[in-house]
Amino acid sequence: MGKVKVAMPRNQNEASPKMLELANKRTRSVIQDAYDKAEAEYESLYRKMGLLEEEAAKALDGNSKLDIDTISSMISKCRAQLEGSKAYLADMRKKLEMEEASKDGQAEKLKQILSWADMFDQANISTKHMILAKLIERIDISANGQIQIKFRLTAKEYLGEQPDDVTCNPEKVS
């Protein structure tokens, strides 16, 4: 219970913007890092493609140590990698844009969660017990004193969002 109070302090007006800012910075940082790596990979492959095309021109003139078939095969592989890298870069760019657009929604969700924490703090013991029983599936305590809590649902499910790893189409399930 002490960790809940540390994570959600009493003075919510001061904590809310700070918590949201930290969460946004971390998420943006992770996505930005992935975008930067994808961009560097794309640029590297683009340079490699240019060098292979130059080598192909040399091979056609008879000035290359490699034969044109080998270079052509290398160009095909590089082109496929370049297309994959381009698609991944576009995906990362879209995620960055979506992250920027979702800041307002995150602020509202944080307010809602903080209000739930306040209601929980004000509830009587039996109500708190009932809420925790609905949220927590199991609590494991190891021999060395470590505590592991298994919740019945994920944070995304709790907030009414669909989990990221859901790939099945419910209409096609028989």
| pLDDT of the residue at 69 | 92
- Of 137 and 171, more confident: 137
Q: How are beta strands 147-151 and 136-141 bridged, if at all? A: antiparallel
State the chain's mean pLDDT as an integer. 79
Q: What is the pLDDT of residues 1-33, one digit of tens each?
A: 444 444 444 544 445 566 666 766 777 778 888
Domain ranges of the chain: 2-122, 124-174
Return the closest-CA partner of residue 51 out of 75, 27, 67.
Answer: 75
Q: What is the pLDDT of residues 80-99, one digit of tens each?
A: 999 999 999 999 899 888 87
* pLDDT over 50 at 167, yes or no: no
Q: Could you give the count of Cα atoms lying within 13 Å of 33 in the half-sphere of its Cβ?
A: 5
What is the share, in percent, of the chain residues with pLDDT greater than 70? 71
Confidence of residue 159 (pLDDT cuts 50, 70, 90): low
Confidence of residue 48 (pLDDT cuts 50, 70, 90): very high
